Amino acid sequence: SQTIHQWPATLVQPVGSPLSLECTVEGTSNPNLYWYRQAAGRGLQLLFYSVGIGQISSEVPQNLSASRPQDRQFILSSKKLLLSDSGFYLCAWERGVGGYTFGSGTRLTVV
Amino acid sequence: GENVEQHPSTLSVQEGDSAVIKCTYSDSASNYFPWYKQELGKGPQLIIDIRSNVGEKKDQRIAVTLNKTAKHFSLHITETQPEDSAVYFCAASKGSGGSYIPTFGRGTSLIVHP
């Protein structure tokens, strides 16, 4: 069966520090991969998506970047975190037929 | 682009009652409509979905209806239980370039009182 792993679960980082969040999918190949952010309240904001290795589409210009070094690995990064980067980050995958499977999320607090 | 409106933002019911959450969408080309349940501190979980060639779909206590003409779809939960308490998101999407990128509603916080 397919599983998605996302870590860490929680993270407290100082302003100006770098960030690396990792997401991996098991049990499937060629997944479409997505990074979302959920700020205070409930809205889900699409940050990046990838339909293949090295292919990254950015939905919102900001202080973050994404990379897909392997078929089932998706990484969210920042060189210097801002206070506004705080939030709940979610990775998700789907196979091009609709319906996301989300990871368990990373709660990021920038202090 | 697509715009999805979701109502109500908060819904409070007594255990055993029914709950209905409604969404409207703007892009008539949207053809896939999933619903997600998000419990506190967790990622959203797909609970039911419907495609545009179907008007209704049911899975035990959960059902979704779709009216393509009016461009609205609804989630129906019968015999609600306290464990149904969560935030529910609707979404609308269409396949493009090998992926389905949904536009999400803003969520409904469902509270089921025992």
- The rounded distance, in Å, linking the Cα atoms of B93 and B11 is 25
Closest Cβ–Cβ partner in B41, B98, B104 for A44? B104
pLDDT band at A61 (very low <50, low <70, confident <90, very high): low
Give CA–CA dist A102/A33, Å, rounded: 10
Q: Please, which contacts does B96-101 make with residues 24 or more away whose CB atoms are closer than 8 Å?
A: B97/A51, B98/A32, B98/A51, B98/A96, B99/A32, B99/A49, B99/A51, B99/A94, B99/A96, B100/A94, B100/A96, B100/A97, B100/A98, B100/A99, B100/B32, B101/A34, B101/A46, B101/A49
CA distance B35 to chain A (A): 9
- Residues of B near A (Cβ–Cβ under 8 Å) read 32, 34, 36, 38, 41-46, 49, 51, 87, 89, 93, 95, 97-102, 104, 106-107, 109
Average pLDDT of every residue of chain A: 92
Of A89, A40, A31, the C-alpha closest to A64 is A89
- Please determine, for residue B4, whether its predicted confidence score (pLDDT) is greater than 70: yes
What was the pLDDT predicted at B96? 74
The structure tokens listed for B109 are 């916080």
pLDDT higher than threshold 90 for residue B94: no
Q: Convert the pLDDT of each residue in A1-36 to its tens digit.
A: 789 999 999 999 999 999 999 999 999 888 999 999
Q: Quick one: what percent of chain B has pLDDT higher than 70?
A: 99
| pLDDT on residue A97 | 77
pLDDT at A70: 95
The answer to whether the beta carbons of residues B19 and B76 sit under 8 Å apart is yes
What does the block give as tokens for A15? 């302003």
Mean pLDDT of A91-107: 89
Confidence of residue B47 (pLDDT cuts 50, 70, 90): very high
Average pLDDT over residues A67-84: 96
Environment class of A57 (CB within 10 Å of its CB; exposed 0-12, middle 13-18, buried 19+): middle
Strands A45-52 and A55-58: antiparallel
Q: Apex CA B105: angle with CA B101 and CA B108, to 5°? A: 140
Q: How far is B36 from chain A (nearest CA, A)?
A: 9
